[in-house]
């Protein structure tokens, strides 16, 4: 588990380094309003990519089981069907998102002083979705076969390219036009395209079973039965991700009510918390892959060991990360924020919510094991309940109807994580723990 986890965790860290660098450059050298524009758009962008993340999760389960069973023909069918479906989805979302950008941003209450900048930035990101989706699902395929190193190496390339292009495009170096905040979007797009092309070339060179050769291309028309199975697994995960992102949009509406300082604080804390979430999310992915491969190989006895190891690692890694963040929280937040008022709001948010991500990680591991076995509906239901019956109502009530003000919004997060833990464990112990699990890919 550790051998798989370390490259995966480093991959997730590297994936956000470009975003982190962009946030620091935008926040410190362009200004709070520019940082607020990035923060206002992020929940909307996450909503759009949520569906493909769910589909990728479904394909990873199927690929893990097919790979564990040694069924390469089935594996190629899964690859071809997933590639075609996600590419078409990316085109549809790019067109719809590009056309209705401003209307959507107005609906979520984006402050007027950052509307124009946010719309322009959003449209660049929307048009990058098709190629971004293909890159995302290909790295998911590799992890499903147990290869977490190649995605890590590709992300090193992508991150280095992003860090090179970022200042060049933002500040207009080397004779290029000065793009300002939009340079962060262009840098991300260019580095993703180059890395994806290099990744395809590398898989051909290594003769990977996932390479885009004739045996995969003949499956690009999509296998109807495989698409049904993929959607059956992917849609509940996608719905769960979409509802999470919708809740973030609801939260940003509550936050926007307190002005652009609060919006910028929210965005900067999301950057810090993302590094705490990464081990939890990475552990969930690791557990899901190892569990799916065990199920495909009919080694169901390994599941308890996989779960136990994942939970132990979640608490060890989480505590090691959280202690220094709590101690140096203001210093860390000052990387993004120069305004004292914004810094105070961000520090308040971080102190209230950070500890609860240990619970978030625990839930991720149990839910990932359930999904690997094909139980995808119940984790989605529990996510809906914890987010829309707990997090959003608590955030709304405490911020609108008590003296807590903006602090009430932050309390919605730990409340949701605790309820989610209770629900997942209730199902695990009552219905799933002793269930006989069979592979979905025969």
Share of the chain above pLDDT 70, in %: 90
Q: Cα–Cα distance between 280 and 414 in angstroms, integer?
A: 15
**What's the pLDDT tens digit per position in 146-193?**
888 888 888 889 888 888 888 888 888 887 777 777 887 888 889 889
Q: What percent of the chain has pLDDT over 90?
A: 9
Q: Which two tokens stand for residue 405?
A: 């003000």
Domains of the chain, residue spans = 1-222, 236-434
Rounded CA-CA distance 165/263 in Å is 27
**Average of pLDDT values for 128-146?**
86
Q: Which two tokens stand for residue 344?
A: 């105070």
Q: Cα–Cα distance between 137 and 86 in angstroms, integer? A: 8
> Residue 358: what pLDDT?
92
pLDDT above 90: residue 359: yes
Within 257-391, residue ranges assigned H as helices are: 260-296, 303-327, 329-333, 340-353, 357-372, 377-386
| 38 pLDDT higher than 70 | no
Strand (E) or helix (H) holding 136: helix 129-144
Nearest to residue 249, comparing CAs of 398, 399, 107, 356? 107
Residue whose tokens read 């107005």: 106
d(CA 4, CA 9): 9
Q: What is the dihedral of CA 203, 209, 215, 217, to 10 degrees?
A: -50
Q: Tell me: the pLDDT tens digits for 51-68?
A: 777 788 788 888 888 887
In this structure, of 10-19, 144-153, 371-380, 382-391, the range with the lowest mean pLDDT score is 10-19
What is the biggest distance separating any 2 CA atoms in the chain, rounded to whole angstroms? 65
SS3 for 233-260 is HHHHHHHHHHHHHHHHHHHHHHHHCCCH
Per-residue pLDDT band at 368 (split at 50, 70, 90): confident
């Amino acid at each position: 588990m550790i051998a798989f986890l370390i490259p995966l965790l480093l991959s997730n860290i590297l994936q956000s380094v470009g975003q982190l660098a962009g946030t620091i450059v935008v926040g410190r050298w362009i200004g709070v309003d520019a940082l607020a524009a990035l923060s206002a758009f992020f929940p909307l962008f996450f909503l759009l990519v949520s569906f493909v993340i769910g589909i990728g999760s479904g394909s990873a389960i199927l690929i893990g089981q097919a790979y564990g069973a040694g069924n390469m023909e089935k594996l190629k069918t899964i690859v071809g069907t997933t590639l075609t479906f996600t590419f078409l989805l990316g085109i549809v979302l790019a067109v719809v998102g590009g056309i209705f950008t401003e209307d959507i941003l107005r609906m979520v209450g984006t402050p007027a002083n950052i509307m124009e900048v946010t719309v322009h930035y959003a449209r660049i990101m929307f048009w990058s979705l098709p190629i971004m989706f293909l890159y995302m699902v290909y790295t998911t395929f590799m992890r499903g076969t147990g290869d977490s190193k190649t995605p890590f190496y590709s992300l090193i390339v992508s991150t280095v390219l992003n860090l090179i292009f970022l200042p060049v495009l933002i500040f207009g170096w080397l004779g290029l036009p000065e793009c300002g905040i939009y340079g962060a979007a262009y840098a991300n797009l260019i580095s993703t395209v180059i890395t994806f092309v290099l990744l395809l070339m590398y898989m051909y060179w290594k003769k990977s079973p996932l390479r885009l050769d004739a045996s995969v291309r003949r499956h690009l028309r999509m296998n109807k039965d495989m698409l049904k199975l993929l959607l059956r697994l992917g849609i509940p995960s996608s719905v769960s991700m979409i509802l999470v992102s919708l809740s973030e949009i609801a939260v940003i509406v509550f936050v926007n009510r307190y002005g652009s300082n609060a919006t910028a604080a929210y965005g900067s804390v999301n950057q810090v918390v993302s590094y705490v979430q990464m081990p939890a999310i990475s552990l969930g992915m690791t557990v899901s892959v190892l569990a799916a491969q065990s199920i495909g190989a009919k080694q169901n006895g390994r599941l308890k060991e996989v779960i136990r190891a994942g939970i132990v690692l979640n608490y060890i890694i989480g505590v090691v990360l959280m202690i220094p963040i709590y101690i140096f929280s203001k210093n860390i937040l000052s990387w993004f924020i120069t305004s004292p008022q914004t810094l105070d709001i961000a520090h308040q948010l971080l102190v209230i919510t950070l500890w609860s991500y240990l619970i978030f990680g625990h839930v991720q591991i149990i839910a990932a094991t359930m999904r690997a076995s094909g139980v995808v509906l119940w984790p989605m239901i529990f996510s809906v309940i914890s987010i829309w019956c707990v997090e959003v109502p608590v955030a709304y009530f405490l911020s609108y109807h008590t003296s807590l003000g903006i602090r009430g919004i932050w309390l919605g997060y730990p409340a949701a994580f605790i309820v989610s833990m209770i629900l997942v464990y209730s199902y695990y112990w009552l219905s799933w723990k002793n269930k006989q699990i069979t592979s979905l890919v025969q």
